[in-house]
Amino acid sequence: MIVSAGKNETFSFATPIGVGLIESAMNLTRICISDKPDTLLFIGSAGSYGENEIFDIVESSSAANIELSFVENNSYTPIESVLKSEDQKLSDDTIVNSSNYITINEKLGKKYLEYGMGIENMEFYSVVKIAQEFQIPVRGIFVVTNKTDQNAHQDFISNHNKAMDELIAHLEKQKIIVPHGTMEDI
């Protein structure tokens, strides 16, 4: 099953699950309880901490939930901060950090690189966590819309339409979807 956040990332071939960690966790749990999918593929946009360029396509089976307060040594957590889908390991696996907030401080954004994270997406951590709970293979495919700097929001808005076209083209090239948005086997 292909899922996306929804709102401005809605696709004819994907089920929207909500924006942010909470909405996506609640709605994906409902889906898994009522009709558990065999696999999950989350698609969407991401901000780059610095190594990926705008419109790069990034695939991942690893997610993190590391907040800026942790990066600044102002907090700790008792929960597992980094999750990896063992059944969907990728050779070049970028850790996707998730938070309900978008990083706009370039200096702090670069600190995420020190923790092994390359991009941020608001939903992927909850998607991986729910997939683990229901023992569903999961991975994500993301298109970079912005850097994590003071222009993050404006760049996201400016680049979003082209980024979604790039994402769809990648999914078609990989034969995950066929032209006109119908699904093939993942």
Domain CATH for 56: 3.40.50.1580
Domain span at residue 70 reads: 2-182
Residue 179 clears pLDDT 90, i.e. is over it? no
pLDDT (tens digit per residue) in 20-63: 999 999 999 999 999 999 999 999 999 999 999 999 999 999 99
Greatest alpha-carbon span in the chain: 48
The domain total for the chain is 1
Distances (CA, A) of 10 to 47, 70, 92, 132, 168: 18, 32, 27, 24, 11
Mean pLDDT of all residues in 74-91:
80
Per-residue pLDDT band for 186 (boundaries 50, 70, 90) equals: very low
Q: For residue 137, what pLDDT is reported?
A: 96
